[in-house]
Amino acid sequence: MPHFPTDEDYQNLFRDFPDVFYWNDTEHEYRASICVGNGWVSLIRKLIEALQDQAKTEGTRLPVITDIKSKYGNMSVSADYTTAAMDDIIEDFEDISGSICETCGASFAKQQLTAGWVTSMCQLCERRN
């Protein structure tokens, strides 16, 4: 089941980077599933730009991101057609995500356990929760 973006940031992501998200033109369908908070959207943008640069450097095709989710408070990215260097880039961003608030994007988040679910969250969002 494709996951359809419900808010503007996701729609912009898919629109700006159709090649990386497997845009199916005939069926107007996104193959990628993104299930993380808005706070990580700019991180996802930076990741894709880094992957695009890497593809250019290596002279390879672009990777296809199939799944982005939150796993134990870190962003977890699944992608096809990656090179070893691209896998390293993805791992770096997954590490960075642990200190970025998944809710608001603040860069001083800590891992919080909320209702049995680990999330990266800043103190402000934690208080609002």
Q: Which residues bind Zn ion (CB under 5 A)?
A: 101, 103-104, 106, 122, 125
Nearer Cβ to Zn ion (74/103): 103
Closest approach, Cβ 41 to Zn ion, in A, equals: 13
Decide the pairing of beta strands 74-80 and 23-24.
unpaired
Closest approach, Cβ 46 to Zn ion, in A, equals: 18
Closest approach, Cβ 120 to Zn ion, in A, equals: 9
What is the spatial distance between Cα 59 and Cα 41, in angstroms, rounded to a whole number? 27
Nearer Cβ to Zn ion (96/106): 106
What is the spatial distance between Cα 13 and Cα 47, in angstroms, rounded to a whole number? 12
73 touches 37 (CB < 8 A): no
Nearer Cβ to Zn ion (82/112): 112
Nearer Cβ to Zn ion (43/65): 43
Residue 18 sits at φ, ψ, to 5 deg, of: -60, -35
Closest approach, Cβ 86 to Zn ion, in A, equals: 29
Q: Shortest CA distance to 62 belongs to which of 76, 45, 78, 79?
A: 79
Reduced to 3 states (helix: H, G, I; strand: E, B; else coil), residue 91 is helix
